[in-house]
Amino acid sequence: MENLLAAVDLGSNSFRLSIGRVVQRDGVPQIYQIDRLKETVRLAAGLDSQRRLDAPTIERAVSVLQRFGERIRNFPPARVRVVATNTFRIARNIGDLLPRAEAALGFPIEVISGREEARLIFSGVAHTLPPSEANRLVVDIGGGSTELIIGQQYEPRQMTSLYMGCVSYSRQFFPGGAIDAHQMKLAQLAALNELESIARPYRQTGWQEAYGSSGTSKALYAILTESGFAKQAITRDGMEKLRKKLIADGRVIAAELPGIKLERADVLPGGLAIMLAVFEALGIDTMQTGDGALRLGVLHDLLGRDAASDKRDESVRQFMARYHVDVAQAARVRKTALSFFDQIRPDDGSSDRQEMATALGWAADLHEIGLSIAHNGYAKHTAYVLDNADMPGFSQDDQDRLAAITLAHYGKLNRAGTPIIKQPEWPAILCLRLAVLLHRGRADLDDLPLSLSVRKQSIIIRLQRDWLDAHPLTEYNLQAEEEEWRKAGFDFEIMAR
């Protein structure tokens, strides 16, 4: 298993599992896909008018994930990443599905933002294309959202995720599968309205090559080329011919559309309407298809984490620069906080311990970004930014954890809605608070003046009496810290000898 990675993409139309084998060639790691599973779930089709998933759809999703879970049951957690997209983002009762889905699969699920989805899609497509300095446009029409990215090499320059997809548009504009000219026009106009805000900046950035990824693009390519509507590409003229045929037939007749897969028939009208609008809004005449997609981007992201080039580390560095963080102070706090964490959670090789230690390090790096907004209540500003900003590489769960740790890193412990004693991050919060307290003078420490031990909800700090007598401000702050933790339901003892 050491050279295998697994990526699970929980899309609004299909669930996909990809397994890649990592091979080193001349010191450069490469991924070769060795197994894939795909099942059509139509998650977005299970949303009612209140954006709640119905019971049959939830059961169908859980059943598929049980099968996926069997395939990756023996994978180490660090070599699996599961990402969920638009329907997981918008479903109001996702709490009914998420715990059951994670239990069925056996791995945690990251609900990623639209921009993170776009970044991973571009990475997946770019890694399947020949090297080029040209700007490339990638369009991915999913079941509930559409991502559009312009980038160069492997780096995106423009990213957006729009709330329109082949499943949602097919349900909204072509109920029961009926197609007519009026409804097709309405669907295209709705898509053009979504695209209006990005059309101008995207045209200004420009691109030399356009690629479509995932199911809708591949379906259109297969239908257009095998039906003789276009030659080796998705073209505006070819899609117009397909549009006219669908309107004339009044529905999708799969037997008369060479290249179509039966599971694509129901969602073809919505996908076609969106792609026609994309071509019109951005002035595209011809588009090729890219073999890579979200799941391949996830595999390459996993490979980067494994090779110590985690995209999240890069995002942290960029945020530190953007918000003018005092790098020396952040390094002091990081070192001390992680030293405390090693004392209370020795490295046992477990993934949850490593994840918490990693999150604590990032929180130490970023805990002062709120100072660039205002000193008063800066922890709240820090937490708000970390919870709501686009942070490439981070899932929303990652960002929630960072926000929770930094929100409570000084002052009153009861700022958050959830009592601190019930937050799984409380040991990291304790370590960060003590590190910030010790480095209030923004100076290095030759040695840690205190040791820390934790047993359940009992916290003990041990230090030398002569050191404490020489640092009255620190003694005062430690006494205030003792009071805060006691109010939060902990036993807190300072032992000076």
SS3 50: coil
Q: How high is the pLDDT of residue 304?
A: 74
- What the block records as the tokens of 449 is 């003046």
pLDDT exceeds cutoff 80 at 418: no
Do 70 and 138 fall into the same domain?
A: no
pLDDT exceeds cutoff 80 at 346: yes
Q: Can you tell me the distance from the alpha carbon of 334 to that of 124, in angstroms, rounded to the nearest whole number?
A: 33
Q: How high is the pLDDT of residue 205?
A: 95
pLDDT exceeds cutoff 80 at 239: yes
Q: How high is the pLDDT of residue 314?
A: 80
Task: For residue 154, name the pLDDT band (cuts at 50, 70, 90).
Answer: confident
DSSP letter for each residue of 333-393: HHHHHHHHHHHHS---S-HHHHHHHHHHHHHHHHTTGGGGT-STTHHHHHHHHHHHS--TT
Q: Can you tell me the distance from the alpha carbon of 124 to that of 117, in angstroms, rounded to the nearest whole number?
A: 11
CB proximity list for 59: less than 8 A, separation 6 or greater: none
Identify the top-confidence range among 29-33, 130-134, 320-324.
320-324
Q: Among residues of the chain, what percentage have pLDDT more than 70?
A: 97
Do 187 and 314 fall into the same domain?
A: no
Q: Can you tell me the distance from the alpha carbon of 7 to that of 2, in angstroms, rounded to the nearest whole number?
A: 15
pLDDT exceeds cutoff 80 at 465: yes
pLDDT tens digits along 25-41: 666 677 888 899 999 99
Do 317 and 461 fall into the same domain?
A: yes
Q: Using an 8 Å Cβ cutoff, are 339 and 345 in contact? A: no
Q: How high is the pLDDT of residue 308?
A: 53
* Residue 299 in domain: no
Task: For residue 237, name the pLDDT band (cuts at 50, 70, 90).
Answer: very high
Q: Among residues of the chain, what percentage have pLDDT more than 90?
A: 68
* Residue 304 in domain: no
pLDDT tens digits along 348-398: 878 788 889 999 999 999 999 999 998 888 999 999 999 988 787 787 778
Q: How high is the pLDDT of residue 27?
A: 65
pLDDT exceeds cutoff 70 at 332: yes
Identify the top-confidence range among 293-302, 317-326, 348-357.
317-326
Lowest mean pLDDT among 99-108, 172-181, 216-225, 390-399: 390-399
Do 371 and 483 fall into the same domain?
A: yes
Instruction: Summarize the confidence of residues 227-256 as an average pLDDT.
Output: 95
From residue 35, how far is each of 32, 78, 263 by CA, in Å?
Answer: 9, 19, 21
Do 487 and 414 fall into the same domain?
A: yes
Do 167 and 105 fall into the same domain?
A: no
* Residue 303 in domain: no
Q: How high is the pLDDT of residue 10?
A: 95
Please name every residue paired with 203 in a beta bridge, in sequence order, or none if there are none.
Answer: none
From residue 228, how far is each of 267, 279, 280, 332 by CA, in Å?
Answer: 21, 20, 22, 66
Do 361 and 414 fall into the same domain?
A: yes
pLDDT tens digits along 252-272: 999 999 989 888 899 999 999
User: In the chain, how many domains are there?
Assistant: 3
Q: Using an 8 Å Cβ cutoff, are 130 and 174 in contact? A: no
Q: How high is the pLDDT of residue 301?
A: 86
- What the block records as the tokens of 72 is 């990756």
Axis-axis angle for helices 426-438, 351-366 (nearest 10): 40
* Residue 122 in domain: no
Do 39 and 135 fall into the same domain?
A: no
- Burial status of residue 308 (CB atoms within 10 A of its CB: 0-12, 13-18, 19 or more): exposed
Q: Can you tell me the distance from the alpha carbon of 79 to that of 88, in angstroms, rounded to the nearest whole number?
A: 22
Three-class SS of 277-336: HHHHHHCCCEEEECCCCHHHHHHHHHHHHHCCCCHHHHHHHHHHHHCCCCHHHHHHHHHH
Q: How high is the pLDDT of residue 305?
A: 67
- Whole-structure pTM over 0.75, yes or no? no
Q: How high is the pLDDT of residue 263?
A: 85
Q: Can you tell me the distance from the alpha carbon of 278 to that of 116, in angstroms, rounded to the nearest whole number?
A: 21
Q: Can you tell me the distance from the alpha carbon of 253 to that of 274, in angstroms, rounded to the nearest whole number?
A: 20
CB proximity list for 329: less than 8 A, separation 6 or greater: 368, 439, 442
Do 397 and 249 fall into the same domain?
A: no
pLDDT exceeds cutoff 90 at 303: no
Q: How high is the pLDDT of residue 81?
A: 93
Which of 290, 318, 345 is at the close of a domain? Answer: 290
Instruction: Summarize the confidence of residues 118-144 as an average pLDDT.
Output: 90
Three-class SS of 181-240: HHHHHHHHHHHHHHHHHHHHHHHHHCCCEEEEEHHHHHHHHHHHHHCCCCCCCEEHHHHH
Q: Can you tell me the distance from the alpha carbon of 306 to that of 297, in angstroms, rounded to the nearest whole number?
A: 14
Instruction: Summarize the confidence of residues 446-455 as an average pLDDT.
Output: 90
Do 99 and 138 fall into the same domain?
A: no
Instruction: Summarize the confidence of residues 448-459 as an average pLDDT.
Output: 91
* Residue 376 in domain: yes
Do 355 and 277 fall into the same domain?
A: no
pLDDT exceeds cutoff 80 at 24: no
Q: How high is the pLDDT of residue 223?
A: 95
Do 344 and 470 fall into the same domain?
A: yes
Instruction: Summarize the confidence of residues 330-358 as an average pLDDT.
Output: 91
**36 — alpha (psi -120 to 50), left (phi > 0) or beta?**
beta
User: What is the pairing mode between strands 458-463 and 450-455?
Assistant: antiparallel
- Burial status of residue 176 (CB atoms within 10 A of its CB: 0-12, 13-18, 19 or more): exposed
Instruction: Summarize the confidence of residues 165-185 as an average pLDDT.
Output: 95
* Residue 413 in domain: yes
Q: How high is the pLDDT of residue 415?
A: 67
Residue 165 lies in domain: 129-290
* Residue 363 in domain: yes
- The DSSP secondary-structure symbol of 77 reads G
- What the block records as the tokens of 205 is 């950035």
Q: Can you tell me the distance from the alpha carbon of 386 to that of 161, in angstroms, rounded to the nearest whole number?
A: 20
Given CA atoms 93, 94, 95, 101 in this order, what sign does their dihedral have?
positive
Instruction: Summarize the confidence of residues 127-155 as an average pLDDT.
Output: 90
* Residue 117 in domain: no
Which residue would you say has higher pLDDT here, 64 or 292?
Answer: 64
Average pLDDT over the chain reads 91
> On the CB side of 183, how many CA atoms lie within 13 Å of its CA?
20
Q: How high is the pLDDT of residue 446?
A: 84
Give the CATH number for residue 82. Answer: 3.30.420.40
Q: Can you tell me the distance from the alpha carbon of 19 to that of 201, in angstroms, rounded to the nearest whole number?
A: 37
Residue type, 212: G
